[in-house]
Amino acid sequence: MQIFYEILGLIGAGMILFVLYRSIKGNPDQFSRENLNKSFFTMGVLALVLIGFIALMVLTLRST
């Protein structure tokens, strides 16, 4: 049964790689420098908001 799951995992990984390759091949501009900069900025802002929210929740739980 273990080998079956390994084969299924390999097939799934192959399908994911194929879909990613097809997506990148169809739209090569999605990894341009300006798009990556926008994405990293957005992810950074979201990470800071999440860190602040978690810190606020920890402080709230400590005081109760």
Domain ranges of the chain: 1-31, 32-64
Measured CA angle at 19 (ends 13, 21), to 5 deg:
100
Mean per-residue pLDDT over the chain, rounded: 94
**Stated pTM of the model:** 0.59
CA-to-CA dists, residue 62 to 17, 23, 49, 54, 59, angstroms: 45, 47, 20, 12, 5
Residue whose entry in the numeric block shows the structure tokens 């810190």: 55
pLDDT over threshold 80, residue 10: yes
